[in-house]
Chain A
Amino acid sequence: MEKATDLFSLKSLKLKTKQQELLLRISILGLVYILAFITRLFSVLRYESMIHEFDPYFNYRTTLYLTQKGFYDFWNWFDSESWYPLGRIIGGTLYPGLMVTAAFIYWTLRFLRFAVHIREVCVLTAPFFASNTTLVAYFFGKELWDSGAGLVAAALIAICPGYISRSVAGSYDNEGVAIFALLLTFYLFVKAVKTGSLAWSLASAFGYFYMVSAWGGYVFIINLIPLYVLVLLVVGRYSMRLYVAYNCMYILGMLLAMQIRFVGFQHVQSGEHMAAMGVFFLMQVFYFLDWLKHLLNDQKLFQAFLRITLTCAISVGAIALGVGTASGYISPWTGRFYSLLDPTYAKDHIPIIASVSEHQPTAWSSFMFDFHILLILFPAGLYFCFKRLSDATIFIVMYGLTSMYFAGVMVRLILVATPAVCLISAIAVSATIKNLSQLVRTKAKPTQGGSGKGTTSTKASSKGALDRSLPYQRNGAIALLVGAFYLLTRYAIHCTWVTSEAYSSPSIVLAARGAHGNRVIFDDYREAYYWLRQNTPQDAKVMSWWDYGYQITAMGNRTVIVDNNTWNNTHIATVGRAMSSYEDEAYEIMRSLDVDYVLVVFGGVTGYSSDDINKFLWMVRIGGGVFPVIKEPDYLVNGEYRVDKGAAPKMLNCLMYKLSYYRFGELTTEYGQPPGYDRARGVEIGNKDIKLEYLEEAFTTSNWIVRIYKVKPPKNRW
């Protein structure tokens, strides 16, 4: 009788802890959701609510167009204001997911009678989706391990710098929503494999569709999932659930993806998508053989049949691939994809990819910067995953390792690796803390009566650890717990610091520390773009290096020759050639392109190092790649890039040099230095007496960061 009441009270207590646990879980998740949002608001607080960087300006401009003109106009938009004189078919050359999402949020808010400006919606889209990602991370972690791991994963990903770098307020870029879509697709697919349900695989197909509509990184999904399926096949984990999940997801996902014009028929035509198709057919063969084996009871007959079908299937597949590639029906891999597999490829062959700083390979310190202690927890998490192998943990291990490799090849792909690293580390943290707290509580149990904190579930009183417990076990466990919490606090401090210092600057407004430690703001870019908007004719064409194209069209509302959508290498090379030629030669090129204004970015006065002079060698390389008259050695002295007296003569007289340093020789920039001292490169310039013949200075911003020149009309008398 006594035992029965004991049991009863324990049972009611257990129910109560479960409720408590649910409450705690929901409130933690809610806090994490809010945390993920507010930690990304540093830039809004410090500067103002504005769009950052370069690409987001294009996204903003198109979203504006979408909300003003409606979806069909947006879809059929031919933009004559960029890539003059070629123009650009916007609807067919972008991933519309981000713009449609923002417009949808905007319309919803309008419908609810919140009078917001579309800019505010765009600025806050990325933080909002980061919050949603934490929810997905929670469910994913729960699926992989348990709800504790889910909570830790949500908390880790909420503040992980690798993700924050692309999702702060104002960073209105595809990646902001794409990471959410990526993780959602993976979660739904894992769920589909686990349950074998059509509903989940349908959901994952739609997740995939959203991902395809948002970011070119969907190629990672369409290659990772087949690879995962292949591995499951290889290690003998083939099941009907897998068959249903993959086939449904692949076929539907493919059909849906074809609705995006930019992607079109690539799923059946491009080499990058062929792996998925191959695995699809392989699965059919697998299933077919399975079925036959079931029908034919004769083992020998089956073996003979197997040999024939396999040989036939493989040769047909190989011939199809060969013929498709040879006839040009299946396009070969693109440079970007190829450079992931053979990382040295881009550096040697595609300067336009290699020139972008975020395409550089990753040094160990960048890993540390973006992941911090997660790097150390990651292997431990892998260990736990291997220890409890299931279809889900195999998936996360594969996702983690492949994305880790890709992150090593390209800095920007750290972003893709971040969710995996957070999830795997969360498993490590959760499993370790759970084990430790169980150890702590086994001793305490008789006295405290199991009224634990409730964050970890109280099942299975740690497998008879009581009888084999070591001395110091409890103290050791407490010490280790304290250590773990110390590490996690360090992580939080690091993340906050990185977010506030490194990832929250808009890069269109520059900030520097003044001589007295005060913050100095350089707002030259916007000054220049507004000048263009207000002081030049409506139809003026502006030539600049492609980095500034999106900003000029979005803020200056003027036509540009090239912009950040680097779709036409020859056109960019033409601009590169103009910039690296002598003024008279450049004038011919500019006349042929109807250029009215030339815009250069110059950091010699402020010490701003990512200006055009520092990018100039890439202009030469890209120009020289198409026009062999431009030779890189002509601009170098003994392989060294210089702008001072010892610079190469071609360098000292090319258009870019002249436009950057025009009248600079008269200016004293630093106390104790001669006039014409370039603070970005720390030298006195070599050509102080610059005369312009075909161009004239139109506008220079207050800190000389942007300089605009007007191209003179041709002389009509000689």
Chain B
Amino acid sequence: MAISYNTNSFLCITVLLLLVPINHSLNSDDLVSELTILRARSTTGVIHLSNILLIRMLSVPVPRPFTLLVFFDSQKLHSDSEISLPTLKNEFLILASSFHANNPANNKKLFFFEIEFQESRASFALFGVKSLPHGCLVSPFATDFERDSIQMESSDFSRHAESMAEFVEAKSKHTVGPIHRPGFISKKQKMSIIELALILSLFLLKKIISGNTLLHNKNTWMVGSIFVYFFSVSGTMYNIINKIPIAMVDTDDPGKLVYFYDGSGMQLGAEGFTIGFLYTILRLLLAFVTHVLVHEKNRNIQRLVMFLAIFVSFWAVKKVFYLYYWKLGFGHIYG
């Protein structure tokens, strides 16, 4: 995914570069201790890299006492499912935390950074980043970040944290060690949990058999069936499995969002929900008319609500079919 700069950012860098020597002339030890503090402050162990911090690192004489691993992020592109930035960022965080967990003594040699496009365009330009996802390793000897940094290839991203770790180990002398995924339940644990649940469920069953619980109530089952129905016909499984966003940006007009996808092979999240909602209206109206409305004493109100219900149902059915024909593009067959 390509990203665009404005020309101002280049000006910005030059200004920053000019300013740096005046502002700071700090030695490398100070920087390392400052970075350690910054890292301790961050909950994830990854330091948020700003333009100023980067420039200061540049000002330290080579060889720097540490290696940088930078992940380039852009909030704006998080919604793009194709490049899946959030997943990669998460993997990067896992990589960082695994590194810190495995190398508590050696962790002043390699620092993990993430950098946001919106606030640090200048730094992006400094690294020469043209497209995302992008990550790079900066060795202690690098003077020009664009030229000397080692870029992560797409194959290094492909198997997530594991392949990123391989990249780090191959391109620098640091070892990352095994990747620790948080909250990961092993298969054995899962099985034992399931078994426990089964045993518990049997005790519950005993209670159910004896008493008049929620499960004996018809309405619980009805609500459940509405839910299953809504869930299925709106194609929610499709959205979950293929990780489809609710809406996507119009390719012709970036300012506009597309909620309905024209073409039968694909659907967007909003679309499924709309359809499911239209179907459900019908059902709820039916329940309302047959169960609530009959208790109403006033005939006129009854009549009015009834007409309203018929009208809304008619509208909902009409709308569903309209959308369906539009989506499949064969409206002309039925007219």
Contacts and interface: CB of A to CB of B under 8 A. Distances in A.
Contact of B232 (A314, A322, A369, A408): A408
B151 interface: no
A235 B235 contact: no
A295 interface: no
A235 B216 contact: yes
Contact of A378 (B229, B265, B266, B267): B229
A314 B327 contact: no
Given A361-B241, A376-B279, A233 B209 contact: yes
Contacts of A314: 199, 202-203
Interface in A351-386: 360-369, 375-376, 378-380, 382-383, 386
Contact of A409 (B198, B199, B234, B237): B237
Given A234-B208, A235-B216, A379 B283 contact: yes
B158 A369 contact: no
Interface of B: 82-83, 131, 153-155, 158, 191, 195, 198-199, 202-203, 205-206, 208-209, 215-216, 218, 221-222, 224-226, 228-229, 231-238, 240-242, 264-267, 271-272, 275-276, 279-280, 282-283, 286-287, 290, 299, 303, 317, 320, 324, 327-328, 333-334
B241 A344 contact: yes
Contacts of B237: 343, 361-362, 405, 408-409
B195 A321 contact: yes
Contact of B195 (A318, A347, A378, A386): A318
Nearest to B224: A401
Interface residues of A, number: 52
Contacts, number: 145
A347 B241 contact: yes
A639 B2 CA distance: 13
Interface of A: 233-236, 306, 310, 314-315, 318, 321-322, 325, 343-344, 347, 360-369, 375-376, 378-380, 382-383, 386, 389, 397, 401, 404-405, 407-409, 470, 490, 493, 497, 631-634, 636, 638-639
B228 A405 contact: yes
Nearest to B82: A639
A362 B39 CA distance: 46
B232 A633 contact: no
A639 B81 CA distance: 12
Contact of B240 (A306, A310, A325, A344): A344
A383 B234 CA distance: 19
Given A310-B203, A364-B233, A367-B232, 13 more contacts: A234-B208, A322-B195, A343-B237, A367-B235, A368-B324, A379-B279, A379-B282, A380-B283, A383-B290, A397-B225, A405-B232, A497-B333, A639-B83
Nearest to B324: A368
Given A318-B199, A343-B241, A363-B267, A235 B234 contact: no
A363 B324 CA distance: 12
Contact of B229 (A404, A493, A633): A404
B97 to A, nearest CB: 22
Contacts of B83: 639
A382 B209 contact: no
Give 5 nearest A-B pairs by CB, closest first.
A379-B283, A408-B232, A364-B235, A408-B237, A363-B267
Residue from A364, A369, A386, A408 whose CB has the most chain B CB atoms within 10 Å = A364
A185 to B, nearest CB: 23
Nearest to A357: B265
B256 to A, nearest CB: 22
A26 B245 CA distance: 52
B320 A379 contact: no
A629 B206 CA distance: 56
Given A322-B195, A408-B232, A408-B237, A236 B209 contact: yes
Contact of A234 (B209, B228, B233, B242): B209
A366 B328 CA distance: 10
A365 B232 contact: no
A306 B205 CA distance: 13
A310 B199 contact: no
The prevalent SS among residues of B at the interface is helix
Contacts of B328: 365, 369
21 contacts: A234-B209, A314-B199, A315-B199, A318-B199, A347-B242, A361-B240, A361-B242, A363-B235, A364-B235, A366-B235, A368-B320, A369-B328, A376-B317, A379-B226, A379-B279, A382-B225, A397-B221, A401-B225, A405-B231, A408-B237, A408-B238
B131 A638 contact: yes
B219 to A, nearest CB: 9
Contacts of B234: 364
B257 to A, nearest CB: 19
Contacts of B218: 386, 389
A639 B283 CA distance: 44
A383 B286 contact: yes
Contact of A318 (B198, B229, B235, B271): B198
Contact of A364 (B191, B275, B317): B275
A136 B225 CA distance: 25
A470 B303 contact: yes
Residue from B131, B199, B232, B287 whose CB has the most chain A CB atoms within 10 Å = B232
Nearest to A634: B155
A490 B318 CA distance: 12
B325 to A, nearest CB: 10
B229 A382 contact: yes
Contacts of B240: 343-344, 361
B163 to A, nearest CB: 10
B265 A363 contact: yes
B132 to A, nearest CB: 10
B228 A367 contact: no
Contacts of B317: 376
B272 A364 contact: yes
Given A318-B195, A405-B228, A364 B271 contact: yes
A196 B255 CA distance: 66
Nearest to A378: B229
Nearest to A233: B209
Contacts of A634: 155
Given A235-B216, A344-B240, A633 B154 contact: yes
Residue from A360, A367, A369 whose CB has the most chain B CB atoms within 10 Å = A367
B155 A631 contact: yes
Nearest to B155: A633
Nearest to A382: B225
Contacts of B153: 633
A408 B236 contact: yes
Given A343-B241, A366-B264, A638 B154 contact: yes
Contact of A363 (B208, B266, B276, B279): B266
A367 B205 contact: no
Contacts of B235: 361-367, 408
Contacts of B215: 234-235
Contacts of B236: 408
B308 to A, nearest CB: 14
A310 B225 contact: no
Contacts of A321: 195
Contacts of A233: 205, 209
A376 B320 CA distance: 10
Contact of A404 (B228, B271, B282): B228
B225 A407 contact: no
